[in-house]
Chains A and B, each alone.
Chain A
Amino acid sequence: MIVKLDRRQFATGAGALALGFGTTALAQDAAVAPQPPPPLWQQEVDKILKGAKPVPGKILLDIPEIAENGNTVPFTVSVENPMTEANYVQTLHVIAAGNPQPGIAIFRFTPDSGRAAVSSRMRLARTQDVIVIAALSSGSFVLAKRPVKVTIGGCGG
């Protein structure tokens, strides 16, 4: 994405930047440096896991290693699971760690699904990791992560 700045915008921007440095210096003087908030994707992941630790499990994320067009990247996620009333995949979260809005989709299955698998197409703004988290009916989570190289970003800008 290319951001065009005119001279005035640049001047105010530079001013704000200088101001920013000023406050940082002040904060450090107070010896309590403010913690930067975790990245958006981390917040999303934390919201899903709520402190739980993902257990090892078979979850397959089929996505191109190199995506030529970030506007439409096909993917398939499948979780090895019997899909019975007693043990099934309830939800599947798909997150793109490097997108301005990391959420891709939340899929909800039922024992009637027969197979915990779904295919769709996602937008990827740049080269990044794609994360999938399966929430099982037992209350545990399974997580998988795959890097995807993006040649042309699907940022739309």
Chain B
Amino acid sequence: MQKPRVKLPEQAKVGEIIEIKTLISHVMETGQRKDQEGKTVPRMIINSFTAKYAGKEVFSAELQPGISANPYLAFYLRVPGPGEFEFTWIDDSGDKSVERLKLNVVA
């Protein structure tokens, strides 16, 4: 899988609610489409996304074939304190992409 793109605010305060935006390249093949020979193209989607902060799961998503190619996800976190994000994308083949990013928490 290609390297995902993640956007965090440049800095955040403890208790502040911040938005996290993520984007990853993926065909998200639905398993419904037929190729030129009329054969069904097998399903291949990212089916799971997990966001952890400071080792604790804070948000996750079970993606289904109705999610567009190159899935974009934006969600929120109430900053509990300093920490590092760990984002994980997993597709139908078991292929995994993990991104770790530190949040700049200021007093």
The residues of A with any CB-CB pair to B shorter than 8 Å are: 71-73, 76, 83, 94, 96, 99-115, 117-124, 154-157
Give the nearest-CB partner of A103 in chain B.
B64
Given A105-B62, A113-B75, A114-B17: A121 and B67 interface contact (C-beta under 8 Å): yes
- Cα distance A2–B34 in the bound complex, in angstroms: 12
**Does B32 sit within 8 A of A, measured CB to CB?**
yes
Task: Encode contact with A along B38-54: 1 for CB under 8 Å, 0 otherwise.
Answer: 00000000000000010
CB A64 to nearest CB in B, in angstroms, measures 14
Give the nearest-CB partner of A4 in chain B.
B38
Which of A94, A105, A110, A120 touches B58 (beta carbons < 8 Å)?
A110
Is there an interface contact between B65 and A103, defined as CB atoms closer than 8 Å?
A: yes
Is there an interface contact between A157 and B32, defined as CB atoms closer than 8 Å?
A: yes
Is there an interface contact between B30 and A119, defined as CB atoms closer than 8 Å?
A: no
- Cα distance A77–B104 in the bound complex, in angstroms: 27
- Cα distance A119–B67 in the bound complex, in angstroms: 11
- Cα distance A154–B69 in the bound complex, in angstroms: 11
- Cα distance A112–B55 in the bound complex, in angstroms: 13
- Cα distance A140–B80 in the bound complex, in angstroms: 27
CB B6 to nearest CB in A, in angstroms, measures 14
Give the nearest-CB partner of B62 in chain A.
A106
CB-defined contacts of A72 to chain B, threshold 8 Å: 68-69
Main secondary structure of the interface of B (DSSP, over half): strand
Which of A71, A115, A154 touches B76 (beta carbons < 8 Å)?
A115
Give the nearest-CB partner of B41 in chain A.
A156
CB B59 to nearest CB in A, in angstroms, measures 6
Is there an interface contact between A122 and B73, defined as CB atoms closer than 8 Å?
A: no
Given A101-B32, A113-B58, A113-B59: A119 and B74 interface contact (C-beta under 8 Å): yes
Is there an interface contact between B32 and A112, defined as CB atoms closer than 8 Å?
A: no
Is there an interface contact between B72 and A121, defined as CB atoms closer than 8 Å?
A: yes
**Does B96 sit within 8 A of A, measured CB to CB?**
no
Is there an interface contact between A113 and B77, defined as CB atoms closer than 8 Å?
A: yes
CB-defined contacts of A156 to chain B, threshold 8 Å: 30, 32-33
CB B96 to nearest CB in A, in angstroms, measures 19
CB A65 to nearest CB in B, in angstroms, measures 18
Is there an interface contact between A121 and B68, defined as CB atoms closer than 8 Å?
A: yes
CB-defined contacts of B59 to chain A, threshold 8 Å: 107-110, 113
CB-defined contacts of A117 to chain B, threshold 8 Å: 75-76
Given A110-B57, A113-B58: A123 and B67 interface contact (C-beta under 8 Å): yes
